[in-house]
Copies of this chain bind each other. A is one copy, B any other.
Amino acid sequence: MSGATPPSIFHPAAGAAWRARWFHIIFNHDDAPGRLFDVVLIVAILSSVMVSVLDSVASLHSMLAPLFYVLEWVFTVTFTLELILRIAVVNRPWRYLRSFFGVVDLLAVLPSYLTLFFIGSQYLVVIRALRILRIFRILKMTRYVGEANMLWTALLRSRRKILIFLSTILTLVLIFGALMYLIEGPQNGFSSIPRSMYWAIVTMTTVGFGDITPHTVVGQMLTSIIMLVGYSIIAIPTGIFAAELATSMRATQMVTCHACGLGEHALDAHYCRGCGTSLDPAIER
């Protein structure tokens, strides 16, 4: 552990070469060592998450607690070494530590050390589940990038419409929740407005746990209206996203003729469909 940071202290040039090489291995994803590092990291993250998940099962914990304990410390030490390596090779360690992934990397190792001082903090190890987001970062560099970008662009462009939709839903949830609290009241499980609002969200999203249900006739009539409203507005985010995605997909497939200005040519078009001019230079864009 202590051998990982010195190079940058007494031997700057060698340290720089060492740092540059590891920086390349950690942050590049397109040559053999970089890809090997990615695979090892993904396997380690998935294994550590798997251990935390299995350790929470009472029957497995009673049988394999010592094994899980050892594995947890192996992963903690591995991730600590990885964290120190990342801090050592980046140019601005503080900026990295305050970035989203820096915080996640720190939170992934901290809980294990806290268990040495505080009883009960071992449950915090599940925060390590957040590290799984790093897998998405690695995938972002690969061939899924185009597809994910298109989905992301469609989401970003429908952002405002979805915000309007969510505020409408929350207003309806507040109004319906308050009304159901008045109609059904605490004796039927609608013990407070926040609880009625929880029920209204359960109902409007068509989840319908059934832990709270209307018992009065008026309550069941209002519930019928709430469900039909919820059912009808499923259409809204779907419609927004489908329309945006269709536009995104069409936009990436189209070329415009430079001679007559006719747009929406397929990507494999060599000639304009309106005037017959060659489109070939336009394809080189």
By beta carbon, the residue of chain B nearest A128 is B178
**Per-residue CB proximity of A221-265 to B under 8 Å, as 1/0?**
101100110111011111111111111011000000000111111
Compute how far the CA of A126 lies from the CA of B198 in the bound complex, rounded to whole angstroms. 16
Q: How far, in Å, is A89 (CB) from chain B's closest CB?
A: 27
Q: Which residues of B contact A242 (CB under 8 A)?
A: 235, 238-239, 242-243, 246
Task: Determine the chain B residues whose CB is within 8 A of the CB of A179 once the complex forms.
Answer: 126
* Copy total for this chain: 4
By secondary structure, the A interface counts as: helix
- Asked if A115 is an interface residue, CB under 8 A from chain B, the answer is no
Report whether B271 and A275 are in contact in the complex, using a CB–CB cutoff of 8 Å. yes
Asked whether A160 and B147 contact (CB < 8 A) given A126-B182, A206-B207, A262-B268, the answer is yes
Number of A interface residues in the complex (CB < 8 A): 109
By a beta-carbon cutoff of 8 Å, the part of chain A in contact with chain B is: 49, 52-54, 56-58, 123-124, 126-127, 129-130, 132-133, 135-136, 139, 144, 147-148, 150-151, 154, 160-169, 171, 174-175, 178-179, 181-182, 186, 191-195, 197-198, 201-211, 213, 217, 220-221, 223-224, 227-228, 230-232, 234-247, 249-250, 260-276, 278-280, 283-284
